[in-house]
Structure 1
Amino acid sequence: MSDEMLSQDEISALLEENNINDVPGDQIDESKELLSPLEKDAIGEVANISMGSAATALYGLLDQKVEITAPEVSLSTINRLVEGYVRPCILVDVQYVEGLQGSNQLIVETEDAAIIADLMMGGDGTEPPSELSELHISAVGEAMNQMMGSAATSMSDFFEGNKINISPPNAELLELSSDHVDLEGISGDDDIVQVAFNMHIGDLIDSQIIQIMTMAFAKQLVEGLMGDNQEEEPEVEEVQPQQSQQQQTQVNSQQQQPQTQMRSQPQQGQPQQPSAMSPQPDVEVEGVEFEQLGGQLASDLNNDISLIYDVPLELTVRLGKTRMSIKEILDLGPGSVIELDRLAGEAVDLLVNGKLIAKGEVVVIDENFGFRVTDIVSAEERLKKL
Structure 2
Amino acid sequence: MGDGSLSQEEIDALLMGTDDMAAPAGKGGGAAVSDGGGLSPTERELLADAFNDAMQVAGSQAGAMVGKNVQITNAQVDEITPAQIAAELPKGGVIAEISMGSTQTALVFPKDIARRIAQTMMGASDEGGEINDAHLSTLSELSQSIVSSIANGLGGKFNESLSPSMPDMKLFASPADAPQFMGGIVKISYNIAVEGMPGSRMTHYIDAGSASRWAKANRSAGAPQAAAFDMDFGGAAGGGGGGMGGGVSVNPINFPSLQQGSGAAQLPPNLELLLDVQMALTVELGRTKKYVKEILSLGEGSIIELDKLAGEPVDLLVNGKLIARGEVVVIDENFGVRVTDIVGPAERMARMAGG
Q: TM-score range by the shorter chain?
A: 0.5 to 0.7
| 1:205 positional shift | 3.3
Per-residue CA deviations over 1:236-288 (Å, capped at 9, x if unaligned) read 9976267xxxxxxxxxxxxxxxxxxxxxxxxxxxxxxxxxxxxxxxxxxxxxx
Per-residue CA deviations over 1:323-367 (Å, capped at 9, x if unaligned) read 379xxxxxxxxxxxxxxxxxxxxxxxxxxxxxxxxxxxxxxxxxx
Amino acid at match of 1:174: F
Question: Which of the two has higher C-alpha Rg?
Answer: 1
Q: Identify the match of residue 240 of structure 1 among 238, 253, 278.
A: 253
| 1:155 positional shift | 2.1
Could you tell me which residue of structure 2 aligns to residue 247 of structure 1? none
In structure 2, what is the Cα distance between the partners aligned to 1:131 and 1:150? 29
In structure 2, what is the Cα distance between the partners aligned to 1:145 and 1:324? 24
Could you tell me which residue of structure 2 aligns to residue 225 of structure 1? 218
In structure 2, what is the Cα distance between the partners aligned to 1:143 and 1:86? 19
Could you tell me which residue of structure 2 aligns to residue 88 of structure 1? 92
Q: Identify the match of residue 42 of structure 1 among 38, 42, 46.
A: 46
Could you tell me which residue of structure 1 aligns to residue 132 of structure 2? 133
Amino acid at match of 1:208: R
| 1:170 positional shift | 1.8
Kept in 1: contact 2:67–2:121 (CA 8 A)? no
Kept in 2: contact 1:89–1:176 (CA 8 A)? no
In structure 2, what is the Cα distance between the partners aligned to 1:37 and 1:178? 33
Could you tell me which residue of structure 1 aligns to residue 162 of structure 2? 164
- Is residue 44 of structure 2 the alignment partner of residue 68 of structure 1? no
In structure 1, what is the Cα distance between the partners aligned to 2:211 and 2:253? 36
- Is residue 293 of structure 2 the alignment partner of residue 317 of structure 1? yes
| 5+ long unaligned stretches in structure 1 | 1-29, 243-312, 326-386
Q: Which runs of 4+ in 1 moved over 4 A?
A: 228-231, 235-239
Amino acid at match of 1:120: M
Could you tell me which residue of structure 2 aligns to residue 54 of structure 1? 58
Kept in 2: contact 1:69–1:197 (CA 8 A)? yes
Amino acid at match of 2:195: G
User: Identical aligned pairs, as a percentage?
Assistant: 17
Amino acid at match of 1:38: T
| 1:44 positional shift | 0.5
Q: Which structure has the higher relative contact order (CA within 8 Å, separation 6+)?
A: 2
| 5+ long unaligned stretches in structure 2 | 1-33, 230-249, 256-288, 304-355
In structure 2, what is the Cα distance between the partners aligned to 1:231 and 1:135? 51
| 1:66 positional shift | 0.9
In structure 2, what is the Cα distance between the partners aligned to 1:324 and 1:114? 27
Could you tell me which residue of structure 1 aligns to residue 3 of structure 2? none
Amino acid at match of 2:139: V
In structure 1, what is the Cα distance between the partners aligned to 2:178 and 2:37? 28
Could you tell me which residue of structure 2 aligns to residue 199 of structure 1? 192
| 1:315 positional shift | 4.7
TM norm structure 1: 0.50
How many residue pairs match? The answer is 216
RMSD: 3.0
Amino acid at match of 2:173: E
